[in-house]
Amino acid sequence: MIRVVARKTYNVLFLCTGNSARSIFAEAILNRAGGGRLRGFSAGSHPAGRVNPLAIDLLLSLGYPVAGLRSKGWEEFARRQSPPLDIVVTVCDRAAAEPCPVWPGRPVAAHWSIEDPAAAGGDDEARRSAFRRAFAELERRVEAFAALPVDDLDAATLKARLEALGRAANRPPPPLCPRTTADTLPARRARPRGKERPLRYISTRGEAPPLAFDEVLHAGVARDGGLYVPERWPRFSADEIAAFAGLSYAELAVRVMTPFLGGAIAPEAFARMVEQTYAGFDHPDIAPLKQLGDNDWLLELFHGPTMAFKDFALQLMGRLFDHVPGAHGGRTTIVGATSGDTGSAAIEGCRDRPNLEIFVLHPEGRISEVQRRQMTTVASANVHNIAIEGTFDDCQALVKAMFADGAFRDDMRLAAFNSINWARVMAQAVYYFAAAIALGAPGREVAFAVPTGNFGDVYAGYVARQMGLPVARLVIATNQNDILARFLASGRYQPAGVRPSLSPSMDIQVASNFERLLFDLHDRDGARVARLMAELGAGGGFTVEPDRLVAARELFAAHRCDDEQTVAEIARIHRETGLLVDPHSAIGVAAGRAVRGDADVPMVALATAHPAKFPEAMMRATGARPALPPRLADLFERAERYDVLPNDLAAVQALLRGAIRDRQIGKGAA
């Protein structure tokens, strides 16, 4: 074996004997995933300087730097390349392999077969789809390559491993050019043990490439229609959770959320944003606990600026969007749907921020007047409210359709504020830690009852459990729009018509975040989840296998309340404790009591909104109307501003385009 001087990195050339996009993709992916230990280069058969613009557009949309990427011919690369090559991977068409040139230094060589995206026929969208497929395939292979323990492998073993990564389904790899094999690789310093690469996020449908946190923040929905989840769950030990006791809420939030950032935001900057976020809450404990019974508790989550639990995440997200610009820089257009509380919290977090425009869709006539006015009376020029003639599910479908329209999404620079955005879920997991630690965790288990519509809030409890918090049970509390309760009873997920209720934020039949749980229930099989979502999208529903349902029931339980039961529960709580709770919170309390389980395990019901947001329901249940906080005392005197549109995607897109154009013209005139 030839002994060579150790170097800090291995130099890897991706050689594309055809369209150079594939080698450029591989170079960009490796330089991000290799963690400094693998350095990527690319060369193709095209003359220097020719790069397919679709390849560059795709890399830009995914947040990859493209400044150093350019197509280099083989001869030019051989003449100009100064670092010696350790590995050469030819990235060629599946149909045929072309011979590769002889490289000095006898590097290890392997061959990968990848679809040529430039050969795709059809219109521009068909070609873009081909480029996305090629990128996704290379992403999987290059990520696996970056994870190989190259320091510990001899040349023959490494070549075999690379060849295995390069095999297309059910096809043997084309033969290697024998002149490019090698005897050995240079020795290199080993990676420190226990050090993991930065956390990345994967789609629940398995086709979109992994993204970093800052990319996921702006992406919202994945390009394959799925939702992003962490590729692995950060975990805290019992000792680490015990050490959180005594921290302020903001300090705890920084500790819990930081593992999800993957190094995308400097620690000092993130801590400052979190501190500023919760400084605007009007209770010193931020999320105080109130005792309802011997071992029954109410977690008050309505002490933020808009009096709802959505403030915990959305006041932070406005700061995150400001701090972490999108791939294009400049303006970001925030779009989302609200069933009542999300919209006002998102508006409060984004109003008057110069680089943000926010558009909020709400179902006309299906939210309370207080909820509507909290949105439509905001006079900030960057705030746009749209009432849709339909249900919340219609609003949510319109938002997803806008993200699915790639050209519109990129042109408008869309980002999402709904709980489809991972940053929402991440921030909401914190108050589960706060409540459980206050009640004795990690030394004892704690159960939670969560008013649930879109499944985002209860899913945040699931995230906390995955991180090591001892959560004994998560109770899904729902109104007559009970698709989640029916699923847990039967294993069948079947939407029905939305029925208006006294708890409008739960008037939902398609719970978007449920897809994230399905992903884990199906062993993170994205293809399987995509098939289930396709069945749902075709207008029906789907049924999960019995073992998957059993797995869900190990943690989740469910209970439903209709309007009469909700009114009775509000009255009971007020009569027995003197507390006023809103309709959603009352359903949470009732559900926790109905499926109580072990009486020694504390049951915490989440109080998700201030009762003053629902004066009619409170009057019906208690005979009294809770007063609005002083900052909202004149809410019913303020002028409203919003548009009413039909449930039509083209109409909504036209309004967004016109509003953005008018704002740009206005800024130019100023």
The residues with which 289 forms a beta bridge, in sequence order, are 299
Amino acid at 442: P
Task: Give every CB contact of residue 267 below 8 A, 6+ residues apart in sequence.
Answer: 254, 258
> CA-to-CA distance for 113 and 171, rounded, in angstroms?
10
**Whole-angstrom distance, CA of residue 322 vs CA of residue 315:** 12
Rounded CA gap, 493 and 624, in Å?
A: 39
The DSSP secondary-structure symbol of 249 reads H
Nearest CA to 132 out of 226, 227, 22 is that of: 22
In degrees, rounded to 5, the angle at the alpha carbon of residue 53 between the alpha carbons of residues 49 and 59 is 105
- Report the relative pairing of strands 471-478 and 556-560 from DSSP bridges: parallel
Residues 283 and 307 sit within 8 Å (Cβ to Cβ):
no
The DSSP bridge partners found for residue 201 are 211, 230
User: How far is residue 656's CA from residue 665's CA, in Å, rounded to a whole number?
Assistant: 14
Report how far Cα 640 is from the mean position of its chain's Cα atoms: 32
Can 310 be counted among the known catalytic residues?
A: yes
The b-or-e profile of 113-146 (16+ CB within 10 A means b, else e) is bbbbbbebeeeeeebbebbbebbbbbbebbbebb
Q: Which residue has the tokens 């108050």?
A: 431
Helix ranges, 167-262 (H): 213-219, 238-242, 249-261
Task: Give pairs for 167-176: CB < 8 Å, separation 24+.
Answer: 167/113, 168/94, 168/113, 171/94, 171/113, 173/111, 173/112, 173/113, 174/92, 174/96, 174/97, 174/111, 174/113, 175/97, 175/111, 176/109, 176/110, 176/111
From 72, 310, 400, 613, active-site residue: 310
Nearest to 611 by CA among 637, 579, 633: 579
The H-assigned helical ranges of 467-562 are: 483-490, 514-521, 526-537, 546-553
Residue type, 534: A
> Which of 312, 369, 274 lies closest to 606, judged by CA?
312
- Residue reference for tokens 């069948």: 492
What Cα–Cα distance (Å) separates residue 534 from each residue in 220, 226, 446, 631? 19, 11, 36, 46
Rounded alpha-carbon distances, angstroms, from residue 10 to 6, 107, 493: 10, 11, 50
Question: Tokens 């404990």 appear where?
Answer: 285
- CA 91 to centroid of chain Cα atoms: 32
Give the residue among 284, 628, 256 at the shortest CA–CA distance from 434: 256
Active-site residues: which are they? 310
